Structure 1
Amino acid sequence: MVVTEPDGRLEVRLGGQLYLAHRYARAAANHALRKYQLDLRHLGVLGYLAEDGPTSQRMLVDRLQMDKSSMVYVIDELERQGLADRRKDERDRRSYAVHITAKGRERLAAAMETTGDAMAELLVPFSVAEQRHLHELLARFIQHAEQLS
């Protein structure tokens, strides 16, 4: 069943709201991350490496849905800062795996704390129960969107 409103389709309005919510959340997070010389792309790569271990650039591109040239820039920057490094992949010596460094893990922990504070500020209008519900709704939305692509 499609829900509509007198001034237009609700689905279109929701799309616009998701877009604006994304823009505000991204801007707040990136502003908070400046002091760490990071942005959300860097945080995404470091977070993935910390959770899943060494990974090829190709896999990072696929998992984080980032274009190849942006991924190269992000990994180059992480290497420049000593937060990650590329090493020959032990399973395939023709390719490289990206590894998070100890310094990268430390920076990730601090950056996650700061980003969490920035997001908490944006979520002030919601109760804890509403925040959980929003999280569940967005997780379902993302899961469905992934299945469509």
Structure 2
Amino acid sequence: MVGMDPEFRLDTQLCFALYTASRKVTSAYREPLKAIGLTYPQYLVMLVLWEQDHRSVRQLGETLALDSGTLSPLLRRVEAAGFVTRRRSEQDERSVVISLTDAGRALQEPAAGMQRELLDELDMSPRDRKTLHMLAQKLCHVL
């Protein structure tokens, strides 16, 4: 369209750049994660549990910004794979606690190696990665 505002073009849209980058990053993880028996969403759950085991479903949902309708089936699949267990909290029967199994803990080292390899493939300095991460977090906090 003649006279179109340059800031309204697709190639200048922040939302499109973020959408495309997110899809490409998730795609880059697909095959390496498949090799260790995880999907990308399952990997995110495992990252949270590797950082701190024995989390409630509510805590996981808050940390991952997922609602229970999305998180519950995801947790069932991770449990069926033998990487976590689910049990009622002893302090609060209404709360379900997710814990790593030995098999789930054993995935941490291969996942860390996979993560290092993927980061090495990025043509970004550690400083640029840190800046990008900080800006992405800032965006998440303001939206």
TM above 0.5, yes or no, is yes
- 1:106-121 alignment to 2 at 5 Å? 106-121=106-121
- 1:89 alignment partner AA: S
Q: TM-score, normalised by structure 2?
A: 0.81
* Higher relative contact order (CA closer than 8 Å, sequence separation 6+): 1
The structure 2 residue matched to 1:127, chosen from 125, 128, 131, is 125
Aligned partner of 2:90 in structure 1 is: 90
Give the gaps of 5 or more residues in structure 1: 1-5
Q: TM-score, normalised by structure 1?
A: 0.78
Give the gaps of 5 or more residues in structure 2: none
- Select between 22-31 and 55-64 the one with higher mean Cα deviation: 55-64
What's the CA shift for 1:9?
Answer: 4.3
TM-superposition CA deviations, 1:74-129 (whole Å, max 9, x none): 212221222100122021124321111222122133123213322432x21x2333
How many residue pairs get matched? Answer: 139
CA distance 1:118–1:65, shift in 2 (3 Å):
same
Distance in 2 between residues matched to 1:39 and 1:14, nearest whole Å: 27
2:66 matched to 1:70? Answer: no
Maintained 8 Å contact 2:88/2:95: yes
2:6 matched to 1:7? Answer: yes
Distance in 2 between residues matched to 1:104 and 1:71, nearest whole Å: 17
Aligned partner of 2:140 in structure 1 is: 142
